Amino acid sequence: MTISHLIMTCEKLPWNIEVGVRVRRVGSGHTCEGQSLSPEARANSSRKRLTENCHGKLEDGILDGTGARLGMFSARFDGGEVELLFREVHRILQAHHYNALMVHADHGEDFGTQTLDFLGRLKSDKGILLAVCTSDYAEVTASGYSTFRELKFAHDCALDIIPLRVSDIYPPEPPHGPTHKYDKSGSGVALVTLALSPSKRFLDCRGKSAGDIAALIARRLLGDQHQAGWG
C-alpha cells in the first residue's frame, strides 16, 4: 500500500481517532484545543504522522538519522562541562544512526590526524560544521587543528556551518590583543565576524539537556528549516 493510499484511508476514518494531535469530544463535534478539526487539517496531520513513521521516529522524539547529512562537531576540548555535554549529544546522535563526527583521541591516537581525516570527509560529503560556540571559540592557538582552523576551513570551502550557542556571550569573542601570544591583530574575531555573521542562525543550546540538543541538531541534519535566531 502506498503512502497516498494510507492517507486516503486515514481521511475516511472516524473523527474520534488521534491523527497526530490529541482530539477530544465536545458535544456532538470533535475539537483540538476547542477548535473544530477540518478534514484538511486531519489530512495534514495524517501526512505528518505517516512521514514520521517512515523516518522511524523513536520514543525520545529523535528521528532515525540514516541518510542524514554528515555533521562534524568543532569545539574546544578542555575536559569541562561543555565538552562532556556534547560528547553525550554525540553519543545520542550516533545511537540514532547519524553520521556525526567528533574527535576523541584515545591513548596513543593522534588528535591532529583525526581532525584532518574528519575535515576531509566534511568537505567531500559537503557536510555541516557544528560549531560549539563557547565565548572563546575560534581563538588562535599553537595548534594547527584549533577551532579557528576548523572554522576557517569550513568557511574557505563554502561549507554549511551551524553555530551552537552555549554561552550568553554571542557571537564568540576569542581572546586576542597585544599580549596574546598567537593573535595580536584579532584574526579570531575577524573570522567570527565573517563566518558567523548575523545572517547565520544559531541553535540556542543554553540550559538544554543533551537529549534536547541532539533533537535540535538531528532536525537540521535531516533538513528541517525551522531554526533559532539571534536573540
Query: Which pLDDT does position 38 carry in this prediction?
Result: 59
Report which of 48, 99, 45, 90 is spatially closest to residue 70, judged by C-alpha positions.
99
Q: For residue range 182-208, list pLDDT tens digits in order.
A: 999 999 999 999 999 999 999 999 999
Order the strands of the 160-165 sheet from edge to edge.
Answer: 100-101, 71-74, 128-133, 160-165, 203-204
pLDDT band at 104 (very low <50, low <70, confident <90, very high): confident
Better pLDDT: 149 or 47: 149
| Domains, the chain | 3-55 (no CATH), 71-221 (3.40.50.10140)
Q: Report whether pLDDT(223) > 60.
A: yes
Average pLDDT score, the chain: 80
Instruction: Compute the C-alpha angle 139/141/144, nearest 5°.
Output: 115
